[in-house]
Amino acid sequence: MEGRPKDKHGNANATHVIPSVDYPRGLSWVKAAYDQLEPKDRVTVSIGTVALALSALSFVIAIASFRQKTREGRYALRKQLTDTIQKPLELNTEYSRSTLDESKYPRNFGSLINDQRRFHARQAELMTGQIRRLVSKWELMLIGGAYNDIGDYEKADLMFRKAIHSRSSRSEQGTAADPDRHRARNRYV
């Protein structure tokens, strides 16, 4: 039985011998502890180490997936904000058409339009609070304009102030500070 490999205890029935590996100095204590383990314990430790590595990898993938879903959710909300802000513009167009031929529209058409403006302005303001970094100065001004159109000058002032103080290009800054744009802005600037 001299040709058969022996384990560290001199047992000739060992089925395999784990080759020795040169470890860096900082891990010498790990090597010493690992060398003292029996083969079955080495297998258990090795499987545990692989399981730990897979768990860490799964955690990293889960974090990356969460961040991607969060980003996608923000961009979906951004698209919804664009659609919501577009609606008051369409309402303004519809209201302008109604003044050309008032006989085709109900007598309370202006208040119906204002109810829709109010709803969409509030929805847009709510969304801007959730995705502040993705909202442009122009959109804040449009929301302020919607509030101005329905006579809610305090909210309009607030939105115009947000537009003036938000980060943007110089041309956007000048437009937001334009004193002739809206009545509420005139009260602020």
Tell me the pLDDT tens digit for each residue of 134-167: 888 889 999 999 999 889 999 999 999 988 888 6
Residue 160 is assigned to a structural domain of this protein: yes
Indicate the Cα dihedral angle 87, 90, 96, 98, nearest 10°: -90
Residue 88 lies in a domain: yes
In terms of residue numbers, what domain contains 132? 73-188
Q: Decide: residue 39, CB within 10 A, 0-12 exposed, 13-18 middle, 19+ buried.
A: middle
Residue 115 lies inside a defined structural domain of this protein: yes
In terms of residues, how long is the chain? Answer: 189
> 37 lies in a domain?
no
Q: Which of 111, 109, 107, 181 lies closest to 148, judged by CA? A: 181
pTM (whole model) above 0.85: no
pLDDT at 2 over 80: no
Query: Is the separation of the CB atoms in 143 and 128 below 8 Å?
Result: yes
Tell me whether residue 24 is in a domain. Answer: no
DSSP state of 152: -
Specify if 106 maps to a domain: yes
Let me know if residue 11 belongs to a domain: no
| Count: domains in the chain | 1
Give domain status of residue 21, yes or no.
Answer: no
For 45-94, write each residue's pLDDT tens digit: 889 999 999 999 999 999 999 999 988 988 898 899 989 889 988 988 88
Q: What angle do CA 179, 184, 187 make, to 5 degrees?
A: 65
